[in-house]
Every structure is written in C-alpha cells, then in structure tokens.
Amino acid sequence: MKKLLSLFLCICFFVPVLPVSAEAPLELSAKSALLMESSTGKILFEKASHEALPPASVTKIMTMLLVMEALDCGQYTLDDLVPVSAHAASMGGSQVFLEENEQMSVHDMLKAVAVASGNDAAVALAEFTAGSHQGFVDKMNQRAKELGMNDTNFINCNGLDEAGHVTSANDIALMSREIMRHPKIFEYTTIWMDSLRNGSFGLVNTNKLVRFYQGATGLKTGSTSVAGFCISATAKRDNMDLIAVVMGAPTSKERFADATKMLDYGFANYGICSSLVKDDELAPLTVKKGIEDTVEIGLAEGFSLLMEKSKIANMEKTISLPDHVGAPIHKNHKVGYVEFFSEGKSVGKCDIVAKKDIKAENPWGMMKRIASYYFHGK
C-alpha cells in the first residue's frame, strides 16, 4: 500500500469534497432552480429545489421517458403508426395540429413533442403506449415514485395547467437524469429545425440553447400563465453532462439566462480527466493454483468521481492490493481498491478488478507442473 501525490486527468468524473450548493455565487430570477452533474447525481447548486410548482411542458420529459422505455422493451418501433383520437386532436396550447384519425409514426410524434412541444402529439403517444391518457398518467406517477420524485403529482402528460399537477426542480432533474440513460433521445432534443408531413409543416425547437449554447443537448422547455417559464437544460462538455433546471422564471429570456448561468458555473468549476491511475501502477497480480500465473487488473467500469477543479492538483490516492489471488478468478471480480483524497479527506473509492477469467488448475495439471519444476527447473 502506498500514497502518491498526483495530478491526473480522469476517465471518471470528479465528486465534490464539500457541499457547494449553499455557497454557489449565483443570483437567479426563477422561483426554483437546481444544477446537477448527471453521472453522479451530485447537486452543485439549488434554490428552493423541493418546492412543488406547476412544470408546464417540462412534464413531457416523463412522457418521452416512458416512450423510450416502451421502445427499448420492444412494445413498438419508431416506424409504427400512431393513430390520433378526438381527445388528442382537441389539445390546445402548443401543437402540431393533428387531426382526428390522422396517423403519424412514433418517430415523427417524438419529434413533434421534443422539438415543437406538441400537446396533441404527447397525448397521442400516451394513448398509443398505455391504451388511454389516464392509464399513461398512472404510469407516469408510478415511474416518478420509482425514481424518488417525492414532490411530484402528474395529472396529464403534456403539462397543460390543471389543479394538482406539480413537480419540483429536484424531481425534474431526477427524470432528466433518467432519460439521459437513453442517448437516442438526444437525436430529437438537439434538433434545431425540422419538419413533418413530408416537409409541409415546419418545426423550430422551443429550446433556444440548442442553437446558442456550446454543448447543449436538450432537454425541454415549458411555459404557461400559471407556471411561468421553465426549462430542463442539458449540456455536455469534456465528457461531463450537466442538468440545469429552472422553474417559474418571469420571462423566457430570464429562463434561458438562469439556465446559462448555472451551466457556465458548473463547467467553469468542475473538471474531467482521462486517467486516475497509470497502467504501470496496476501491475498484473500473481495467481495461485490457476492455469495462468498472473491476471491483468484495472479500475472497475462505471466509476464516477467528481471534484472542484481547484482541488484536483492536490489530490492523493492510496492503492490497496494483495500480494496474490487464488484461482478460480472471474472477470470483474474485485481484487482491491483505490481510494482518493483531497485535503486529507476521502472523496471516493473505486474497485480494482480482474480483467479476465482464470480457471483453477486441475490435479493432473498441478502434478505436471510439479514434475516440470522437479525435472527441468521450470
């Protein structure tokens, strides 16, 4: 075991040593806001983040999430045609003017929801997915509970104002983080301009950050007279994904300004690197009673460690490994760990694992090995 002072650029994301949300120097116009790093779920800034408020069309993040999950499980495909009911066609507010009995592919319906925030398209997808709008809303609330969205109660799938239809900046970040596990959604949320109906109906993204903010990947805007101006804005730079949620901003301009402030703050103060541990620091381990004498080792996949940029230079690490391991060994089996420190405090651990299977040597193989050493010295 040894402790080395090191400055490394990491595969992984750095996790803040201390809470920063209360001290973040941000002044926002919104009633409620939150900034989250996606891979770790770490909150970097928050303002009244658990206050239950009407979310307007940001609601559609949950709608799109359930559609993506239905696609993933094979319930339907992007090419399947979605019929439009009288109820779906009757939706007001932002819409793509679907007509009763019209049909449109799941792909185009998703585009209508993600880009143009079509209330009618959202209801059509909901009915196609769950058989009825109410059945789909029940699924939305069930999924919200599964994600720990404890401030949320959905009444509809599109965010039109209804009494009791509320969520919070914290909960929007949670469902935004979940839909980001489906990278296919970014093919829709990053569209700036497109069209439907063979080019006859134009679409322009309601999220202006998609065009004007470096690294923007989505996600969804919303606004009503009751909700004010809302957004869940996502962006990616240097392999770090941030989620900036704004609820109840006074104007559209202030909504985008608040989201931009939070994203800028996150990217300016938190960093990403390419390697926390050098290859020569993880030499192969000796294997006892295996068909091979050594096994290659490395850091476990999926490890995320987030940290303020100003503290990276003073980061230290301790690598803990045994002298040997016994066979059999399975790929990704934990053989040790590395622990990271900043200012003397532990900021995270990552397992060190075997990179391949090593079978145990059978008795006949062991006898041959003993004989080889005895007669040939090797």
The residue from 31, 60, 111, 261 that is catalytic is: 60
The residue from 29, 39, 49, 57 that is catalytic is: 57
Report yes or no: 94 and 60 within 8 Å, Cβ to Cβ. Answer: no
Report yes or no: 265 and 35 within 8 Å, Cβ to Cβ. Answer: yes
Nearest by Cα to 219 from 251, 183, 195: 183
- Rounded Cα–Cα distance for residues 240 and 212 (Å): 19
Question: What 3-state DSSP class applies to 222?
Answer: strand
Report yes or no: 114 and 64 within 8 Å, Cβ to Cβ. Answer: yes
Match 């009995």 to its residue by tokens.
101
| 275 included as an active-site residue | no
| Phi/psi of residue 196, nearest 5 degrees | -125, 170
- Rounded Cα–Cα distance for residues 357 and 292 (Å): 10
| 117 included as an active-site residue | yes
Q: How far apart are the first and last CA of the chain?
A: 31
Match 């007279």 to its residue by tokens.
225
- Rounded Cα–Cα distance for residues 49 and 370 (Å): 67
The residue from 117, 168, 176, 232 that is catalytic is: 117
Report DSSP letters for 182-207, one per residue: -GGGHHHHT--EEEETTTTEEEE-S-
- Rounded Cα–Cα distance for residues 315 and 42 (Å): 19
Question: What 3-state DSSP class applies to 326?
Answer: strand
| 252 included as an active-site residue | no
- Rounded Cα–Cα distance for residues 215 and 190 (Å): 10
Which amino acids are annotated catalytic? 57, 60, 117
